[in-house]
């Protein structure tokens, strides 16, 4: 019989107590390890370590420097002057003089805290240890506490991810086991924009090196990805400490470290209300919000009102900071569950089914199959929403069935005409045509319906004895089984193809809009080149007029794009408001929506460079939430490129 997590309620197991006792025994004689973690050079790891150490010194602690790399940064050099520095060893290797920690001198001096920069460093040949973290292990065992620094790319578990991001595999790495024993990991974080400003100001590298670094390593995409890795690593480290805390207090768990809420909406008058309710729930649980919609049929099958409902709900979710996901598929429940499992969703919000809809709603399938995921059912507040009876009754007999019946009737007529000239085996092949057509073009249940009906009709009309369902020749029975199998296989393949193609085309459009734009922005040499690049990319989202508006003494003017853009007084006033307030405005927004154009500021957190102006011929089709996210990404990438000039 498997033992319970706890022998008695409120008391930890003996193994947990033994683990705690051994850990405390080791820590009683060892020094404390504090690691300052960053995602790139220049975020301020060494400076923060020195500042904290200066505070420890003011508190009466004995603090010395065992090894420091200031890179001649004036502010860092000024802090170093406050500490005793133990001279480093000088080791000659291939006509180079390499500085390394003098371990014996540090141990002999035996301070309470020693500062050692660049944890991932590989020691010079002939040193006592191959790696610097091994030097630190010896100091910790000697009872000396250590403050040290490291970047995320040097942690062993992150090595593959970093190589994929920057295209270079980092050779100097630190084992995760070493960092897991750290008493404290402090994340030193700045935005990529602030880091690039430091780089330009010469606070990270000298000018020539800084320019080369921006072109190679310090690209915004690289920095964003590395920063995300550092934040995730820090979250995982915190989660491990939380589990340790739980073990010492016999708290059953585990506690979830992060939550992700998936709200599933469909076209209807309550869709937007449901998104807002999901946002409130996500805020309460401190969860990430994902707004998810599945288009079961072709989007053109939706009425204008239904399209308005779904787009408005998605736009509300995007405005509230949620991630927008829109799929096409034949089975709503399958799509919800597939996405939830793949995206590590912890909660799902669904609309509560009403009326006769409860018999066909995907809600119950999601509830039954969403193992390990909390499910919340949303009920509209206030006056109940009237649902027409035809919306409650599942529509099984659709146009697809009618078309299949017409094709079956046509093939039966052809076989009646040919049965005097060809044998039953060839007639059976002709009878397969409706099955193939419906399996390829229609839903699975339509294909199976067509296959079954075709079998019955063929058996009744063309297999002896005629006009009965009796089968004397079992070869026909095998053929009939083949009918069903072929219909099922082709329908599955066709369904997957119909589902994947729109997603692939959408992904290609998004990738081209962002990666293609990024490539062109890198090659741009002047502000005007960047404006022209943005204007050219804006034409890819539908027919209309597009321009980049730039500031001038007389107000905004057309800097690139279509010179006949309708920038009359009303549109110019809306664009000017967007520029002055740094907010999106115009058609399809909550800010001055009476305008015809859609205006996005080209801005970073520091300044605004201009406005991207869109006037689509069919704004309802172009200004959908997915496209708006792409537009904002384009504007942000353009602003970053302008800031780096």
pLDDT in tens, 480-489: 777 777 767 7
What pLDDT does 368 receive?
85
What pLDDT does 146 receive?
96
Per-residue pLDDT band at 385 (split at 50, 70, 90): low
pLDDT surpasses 80 at 476 = no
pLDDT surpasses 70 at 40 = yes
pLDDT surpasses 70 at 60 = yes
Residue that the structure tokens 């909660």 belong to: 347
pLDDT surpasses 90 at 106 = yes
Q: Each residue of 187-206: b (16+ CB within 10 Å) or e?
A: bbbbebbebbebbeeebbbe
* Mean pLDDT, rounded, of the chain: 79
Please say whether the structural domain 524-644 has been given the CATH code 3.30.2000.10.
no
- The sheet with strand 347-351 has its strands ordered as 323-328, 287-295, 259-265, 347-351, 374-378
Most confident of 63-72, 165-174, 387-396: 63-72
What pLDDT does 358 receive?
56
φ and ψ at 571, to 5 degrees? Answer: -65, -40
Which of the residue ranges 96-100, 180-184, 485-489, 502-506 would you say has the lowest mean pLDDT?
Answer: 502-506
Distance separating alpha carbons of residues 47 and 202, to the nearest angstrom = 15
pLDDT surpasses 50 at 143 = yes
What pLDDT does 330 receive?
67
Per-residue pLDDT band at 9 (split at 50, 70, 90): very low
What pLDDT does 487 receive?
66
Query: What stretch of H or E contains 435?
Result: helix 433-441
Q: For residue 33, give the 3-state DSSP assignment.
A: strand
**In this structure, are residues 584 and 591 in contact, taking their beta carbons and an 8 Å threshold?**
yes
Task: Report strand pairing: 608-616 vs 598-603.
Answer: antiparallel
Distance separating alpha carbons of residues 602 and 612, to the nearest angstrom = 7
pLDDT surpasses 90 at 37 = yes
Per-residue pLDDT band at 382 (split at 50, 70, 90): low
Share of the chain above pLDDT 90, in %: 20
What pLDDT does 264 receive?
93
Please say whether the structural domain 25-189 has been given the CATH code 3.40.50.300.
yes
Per-residue pLDDT, averaged over 413-421, amounts to: 84
Higher pLDDT, 48 or 216: 48
Q: Output the CATH code of domain 259-392.
A: 3.40.50.620
Start-end of CATH 3.40.50.300 domains in the chain: 25-189
For the record, the structure tokens of 482 come out as 């083949």
Share of the chain above pLDDT 70, in %: 78
Per-residue pLDDT, averaged over 496-518, amounts to: 61
- pTM (predicted TM-score): 0.43
**In this structure, are residues 162 and 14 in contact, taking their beta carbons and an 8 Å threshold?**
no
pLDDT in tens, 243-285: 556 555 555 443 444 678 999 998 888 888 898 888 888 877 8
Start-end of CATH 3.40.50.620 domains in the chain: 259-392
Per-residue pLDDT band at 6 (split at 50, 70, 90): very low
């Amino acid at each position: 019989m498997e033992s319970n997590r706890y022998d008695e309620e409120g008391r930890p197991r003996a193994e947990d107590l033994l683990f705690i006792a051994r850990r405390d025994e080791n820590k009683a004689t060892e020094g404390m390890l504090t690691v300052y973690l960053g995602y790139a050079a220049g975020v301020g790891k060494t400076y923060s370590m020195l500042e904290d150490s200066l505070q420890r010194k003011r508190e009466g602690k004995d603090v010395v420097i065992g090894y420091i790399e200031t890179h001649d940064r004036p502010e860092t050099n000024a802090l170093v002057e406050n500490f005793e520095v133990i001279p480093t060893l000088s080791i000659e290797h291939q006509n180079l003089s390499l500085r390394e920690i003098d371990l014996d001198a540090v141990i002999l001096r035996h301070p309470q805290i020693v500062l050692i920069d660049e944890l991932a460093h590989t020691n010079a040949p002939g040193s006592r240890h191959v790696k610097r973290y091994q030097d630190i292990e010896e100091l910790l065992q000697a009872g000396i506490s250590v403050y040290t620094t490291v970047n995320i790319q040097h942690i062993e578990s992150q090595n593959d991810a970093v190589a994929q991001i920057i295209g270079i595999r980092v050779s100097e790495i630190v084992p995760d086991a070493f960092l897991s024993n750290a008493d404290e990991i402090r994340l030193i974080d700045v935005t990529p924009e602030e880091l690039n400003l430091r780089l330009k100001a010469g606070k990270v590298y000298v000018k020539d090196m800084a320019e080369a670094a921006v072109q190679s390593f310090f690209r915004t995409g690289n920095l964003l990805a590395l920063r995300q890795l550092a934040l995730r690593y820090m979250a995982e480290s915190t989660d491990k400490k939380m589990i340790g805390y739980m073990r010492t207090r016999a708290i059953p768990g585990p506690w979830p470290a992060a939550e992700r809420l998936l709200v599933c909406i469909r076209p209807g008058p309550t869709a937007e209300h449901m998104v807002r309710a999901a946002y409130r729930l996500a805020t309460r649980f401190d969860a990430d919000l994902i707004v998810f919609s599945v288009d079961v049929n072709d989007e053109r099958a939706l009425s204008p009102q239904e399209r308005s409902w779904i787009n408005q709900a998605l736009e509300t979710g995007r405005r509230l900071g949620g991630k927008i996901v829109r799929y096409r598929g034949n089975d709503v429940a399958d799509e919800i569950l597939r996405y939830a499992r793949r995206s590590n969703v912890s909660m799902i919000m669904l609309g509560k089914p009403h009326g006769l809809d409860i018999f066909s709603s995907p809600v119950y399938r999601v509830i039954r199959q969403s193992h390990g995921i909390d499910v919340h059912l949303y009920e509209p507040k206030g006056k109940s929403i009237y649902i027409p009876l035809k919306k409650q009754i599942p529509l099984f007999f659709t146009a697809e069935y009618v078309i299949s019946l017409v094709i079956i009737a046509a093939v039966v007529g052809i076989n009646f005409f040919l049965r005097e000239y060809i044998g039953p085996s060839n007639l059976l092949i002709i009878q397969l045509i409706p099955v193939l057509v419906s399996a390829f073009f229609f839903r699975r249940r339509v294909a199976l319906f067509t296959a079954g009906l075709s079998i019955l009709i063929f058996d009744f009309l063309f297999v002896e004895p005629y006009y009965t369902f009796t089968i004397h020749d079992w070869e026909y029975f095998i053929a009939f089984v083949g009918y069903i199998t072929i219909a099922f296989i082709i329908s599955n393949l066709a369904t997957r193809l119909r589902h994947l193609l729109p997603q692939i085309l959408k992904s290609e459009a998004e990738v081209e809009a962002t990666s293609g734009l990024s490539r062109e922005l890198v090659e741009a040499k002047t502000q005007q080149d960047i404006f022209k690049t943005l204007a050219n990319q804006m034409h890819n989202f539908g027919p209309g007029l597009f321009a980049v508006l730039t500031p001038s003494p007389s107000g905004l003017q057309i800097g690139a794009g279509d010179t006949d853009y309708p920038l009359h007084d009303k549109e110019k006033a809306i664009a000017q408001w967007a520029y002055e307030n740094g907010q999106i405005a115009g058609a399809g927004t909550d800010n001055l929506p009476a305008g015809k154009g859609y205006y996005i500021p080209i801005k970073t957190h520091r300044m605004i460079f201009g406005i991207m102006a869109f006037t689509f011929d069919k704004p309802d089709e172009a200004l959908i939430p997915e496209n708006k996210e792409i537009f904002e990404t384009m504007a942000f990438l353009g602003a970053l490129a302008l800031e780096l000039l």
